[in-house]
A and B are shown apart, each in its own frame.
Chain A
Amino acid sequence: MTAQTLARPAVRRRGGDLAERLGPLGIAALAVVALITVAALCAPLITSHDPAVGSVLERYQGPSAEHLLGTDQSGRDLLARLLYGARTSLLGAAVVVLLAGTGGALLALVAAWFGRYVDALVGRVLDLLFAFPNLLLAILAVAVFGTGLGQATVALAVAYVPYTARVLRSVALRERRLAYVQAAELQGLSGLVVSVRHILPNIAPQILTGAAINFGYAMIDLAALSFLGLGVQPPTADWGLMVSQGKDSLLQGHPEQSVLAGVCIVVAVAAFSVIGERLGGRKAGGRA
C-alpha cells in the first residue's frame, strides 16, 4: 500500500456515498430545493414587482405578460408574492431547524456525557415537552410573547427540541460508550472537549438528517401559524399567509392565490422530507 492508495479512497467513497444514498428521487428533490432557494434569493432579478404594493384597479387579474401569474385581491403580483414569500418561509424554517438542532444536540451531549441523574432529568424534561402538541405550544408562546415571525420561530424551535434531542441522545449515548471516547477521557480531557471534538462530529450525520426532515415540518407548522394569523403579519409575503388571505378570494371564484401558495408549500415540504429520509437511509417517513 502506498501513500496514494491510502489517502484517495476516502474522498471518493464519501462523494459516491451521498449520490448513492439520495438516489434519483433524492437528487431530484435536491434540485427542487436548490431551485426554490435560488428563486427566493434572486427574487428581485426575476420580477420587478413589489410584493407588498398593488393597485385595487388591477385586482383579480388573470395571467398576462405584465403579471405572469395574475394578481390577488389587492392587485398585488402573485409571482412576486410567491418569490418573496419563499424567503420568509425558508428563512423561518431554517431558523427553527437551526435552533432546534443546536438545542437538541446540546441536550443530547449533556445527557450522554453525564449519564445517570442528568440523563434522567433531561429525559423527563423532554417527556414534558413531548406532552404538548407542537402547535399548541407555539400558540401558547405567541399568546405570551406576541405575534410575529420571530416569536413563532422561537416557539416552534422549542417545540421541536425534544424530537431532535431524543434521537441524538441515543446516538450520542452509543458513541459515549465506545472506546475512543474513553481513551480520550482517560487522558484527562474535559467533558466539553471530548463532546465537541470527538462525539459531535460522529453524530453530525444524524443532526443533518434530522434537520432536513424537520425542515419540511417546520415549513408546514410556520405556514399554519401564519394561516392562523399568529406568525408572519401582513403585508409581508409568506406562503402560509397567502393561503390564509386567499380564502376570501376562494369564495369569490379566484382560487389562484391559495392554490399556488399551497402547491409551493407541498412541493417544498415533500422535497425536504425526501432528502431527509434518503440521508437517514430510511424508506418511511417520521420525525427525526
Chain B
Amino acid sequence: MNATAENVIEISGLCKRFDVGRGGSRRTVHALDDVSLTVADGSCLAVVGESGSGKTTLARVLVGLESADSGDVVLAGRPVARRPRRAERRARARDIQMVFQDPNGSLNRRRTVEAAIGEVLAVHHRVTGAEARRRIEELLGQVGLRPAHARALPGELSGGQQQRVAIARALAAEPRVIVLDEAVAALDVSVQAQVLNLLAEIRRDRRLTYLFITHDLSVVRQVSEEVVVMRQGRIVERGSTDQVLDHPRHPYTVLLRDSAPRPGWRPRLSGDADVREVEA
C-alpha cells in the first residue's frame, strides 16, 4: 500500500441545498455547491471559512448525518450511499468518526464516561465486560485522562476533559478518519493548545486522517499540512498551509486572513469596503 498515493476521502461534485424561510421569504441556500476534494491517507486537511460557508454541512454529509442532493463520496476506497440508511451509517462509522464543537453537548449528561465509550465499543466491535473496561482505560490513557475518570459524569469534567472524552469515544470505533468540527473552538486558548497537541500525537501514533474544520486560522498552522478555503458552499482556494496562509491567491482568503483578530488588532471603520471588493 502506497500511503502517499492513496486517498482516504474522495469527494466529487457534492451538492446540498437547504430551503429556508417560509412563504414570501422562502429561498434556497446552497450549503454545498459542486464541492470536490481529496484527502490523502494519513494527512490532515483543514477546511476554513466563515459561518455559513458550508464547512459543517460538508462534515455532516461525510459522516452520514446529512444526505447530499448530488455528487459522489468515496470513503476508504468504498463509494458510500447518498442517502445513508442505518446499517450503512454503522458500517461507515467504523471508517469515519466525528468530534463535535460543543464539548458539553456532545456527551450525554446522564451517562458516565465509561458508558459513552463503552457504547461505541459494543456497537462496532462487540466488546463488553472486562475487555471493554480494559479498552476504555487504554483509550482514556491515550487522551490523557486517568482510569478514575471512567466513572465520572460529563458535568464533573472540565470542557477540555469533556472534549478528550469525545475524542476517546471517536477513537473507540478505530476509524481511519476523524472529522473534527470546530473541535477546539469552545475551549480557551491554553486548553486549545493542549488538545491540539494531543490530536497531533494521536494522528502520528495511529496514522489517522483528519478533516479539521475551523473558522480560526490561527490553529490551522498547528495541525494541518493542507488547507481548503470555503465560501458560500464552494471551495475557493486549496493549497499547502504555508502557501495559503502566507501567500493567499483568492481575495476572500486575504479578507479572511486579515479579519482574524491578532494581538494589537484594531477594528477598521472602513471594513465594509473590503467586502464589496470581494463581492465584485
A residues in contact (CB < 8 Å) with B: 1-3, 6-7, 9-10, 178-180, 182-190, 197-198, 201-202
Is B83 at the interface (CB under 8 A from chain A)?
no
Q: Which residues of A contact B169 (CB under 8 A)?
A: 183
A6 touches B63 (CB 8 A): no
- CB of B208 within 8 Å of the partner chain: no
Query: Contacts of B119 on A, CB cut-off 8 Å?
Result: 184, 187, 189, 197
Known A7-B152, A201-B110; contact A182-B90, beta-carbon cutoff 8 A: no
How many chain B residues touch the partner (CB < 8 A)?
A: 38
Given contact pairs A1-B148, A6-B148, A6-B151, enumerate 14 new A-B contacts (beta carbons under 8 Å). A6-B156, A179-B105, A179-B106, A180-B105, A183-B98, A183-B106, A185-B65, A186-B93, A187-B93, A188-B90, A188-B91, A188-B92, A188-B93, A202-B109
Binding site for A on B (CB under 8 A): 63-65, 86-93, 97-98, 100-102, 105-111, 116, 119-120, 123-124, 148-149, 151-153, 155-156, 166, 169, 173
Residue of A nearest to B149 (CB): A6
User: 13 A-B pairs, CB-CB below 8 angstroms?
Assistant: A3-B151, A6-B148, A9-B156, A179-B102, A179-B106, A186-B89, A186-B97, A187-B119, A187-B120, A188-B91, A197-B119, A201-B111, A202-B108
Name the A residues within 8 Å of B98 (CB-CB): 183, 186
In whole Å, how far is A165's beta carbon from the nearest beta carbon of chain B?
Answer: 22
Chain B residues whose CB sits within 8 angstroms of the CB of A184 once the complex forms: 108, 119
Picked from B90, B107, B152, the residue with its CB within 8 Å of the CB of A6 is B152
Complex CA distance for A28 and B177, rounded to whole angstroms:
57
> Closest 9 A-B residue pairs measured CB to CB?
A188-B90, A179-B100, A179-B106, A3-B148, A188-B89, A178-B105, A180-B108, A179-B105, A201-B110
Across the interface, which residues of B come within 8 angstroms of A201, CB to CB?
108, 110-111
Is B151's CB under 8 angstroms from A7's CB?
A: yes
Residues of B within 8 A of A185 (CB): 65, 89
Q: Please give the distance in Å from A169's CB to the nearest CB on chain B.
A: 19
**Assembled-state Cα–Cα distance A189/B148 (Å):** 27
Q: Which residue of A lies closest to B101 (CB)?
A: A179
Q: Min CB distance, B155 to chain A, in Å?
A: 7
Shortest beta-carbon distance, B36 to chain A, in Å? 24
Looking at B105, B107, B155, the one whose CB has the most chain A CB atoms below 10 A away is B105
Say whether A202 contacts B65, CB under 8 Å. no
A33–chain B nearest beta-carbon distance, Å = 26
Q: What separation, in Å, do the CA atoms of A197 and B91 have in the docked complex?
A: 21
In the bound complex, how far is the Cα of B98 from the Cα of A221, in angstroms?
A: 50
Query: Which residues from A are CB-within-8-Å of B148?
Result: 1-3, 6-7
CB pair A188–B123 under 8 Å, yes or no, is yes
Pair count A-B, CB < 8 A: 79
| CB neighbours of B124 from chain A (8 A) | 187
User: What is the bound-complex CA distance between A6 and B166, given in angstroms?
Assistant: 18
**Which residues on the B side are within 8 Å of A1 (C-beta)?**
148
Question: For residue B97, which residues in chain A have a CB less than 8 angstroms away from its CB?
Answer: 186
Bound CA–CA A189/B90 (angstroms): 7
A201 to B100, CA, bound (A): 21
Of all chain A residues, the one with the shortest Cβ separation from B87 is: A188
With A178-B105, A183-B100, A202-B110 already in contact, the answer to whether A10 and B156 are too (CB < 8 A) is yes
Provide the residues of chain B in CB contact with A188, threshold 8 Å. 86-93, 123
| Chain B residue at smallest Cβ distance from A9 | B156
Q: Is the CB of A186 within 8 A of B63?
A: yes
Compute how far the CA of A187 lies from the CA of B87 in the bound complex, rounded to whole angstroms: 9
Residues of A within 8 A of B89 (CB): 185-188
Q: Are A190 and B149 in contact (CB under 8 A)?
A: no
A-chain residues with CB within 8 Å of residue B155 when the two chains form the complex? 10
Q: Which of B86, B92, B105, B153 contacts A190 (CB 8 A)?
A: B86
A181: nearest chain-B partner, CB-CB: B108
- Measured between beta carbons, the chain A residues less than 8 angstroms from B153 are 10
Q: How far is the CB of B71 from chain A (nearest CB, A)?
A: 20
| CB of B133 to closest CB in A, whole Å | 15
**A9 neighbours in B (Cβ, 8 Å):** 156
List A contacts of B91 (CB < 8 A): 188
Which residue from chain B places its CB closest to the CB of A185 in the assembled complex? B65
CA distance in complex: A189, B169 (Å): 15
Task: Kindly report which residue of chain A lies nearest to residue B148, judged by CB atoms.
Answer: A3
Give A115 to B102 CA distance when docked, in angstroms: 22
Closest beta carbon of chain A to B82's beta carbon, Å: 17
Which residues on the A side are within 8 Å of B107 (C-beta)?
Answer: 180
Of A1, A10, A183, most B-chain CB atoms within 10 Å? A183
Q: How far is the CA of A185 from the CA of B63 in the complex (A)?
A: 10
Question: In the complex, which of the residues A3, A10, A189, A198 contacts B123, with contact meaning CB atoms closer than 8 Å?
Answer: A189
Cα of A182 to Cα of B63 in the assembled complex, Å: 11
How distant is B78 from chain A, measured CB to nearest CB, in Å? 15
**CA of A16 to CA of B217, assembled, Å:** 45
In the assembled complex, the Cα of A198 lies from the Cα of B80 at a distance in Å of 27
Q: Nearest chain B CB to A256's CB is how many angstroms away? A: 50
CB distance from A67 to the nearest CB of B (A): 52
Contact B108 A198 (CB under 8 A): yes
Contact partners of A6 in chain B: CB under 8 A: 148-149, 151-152, 156
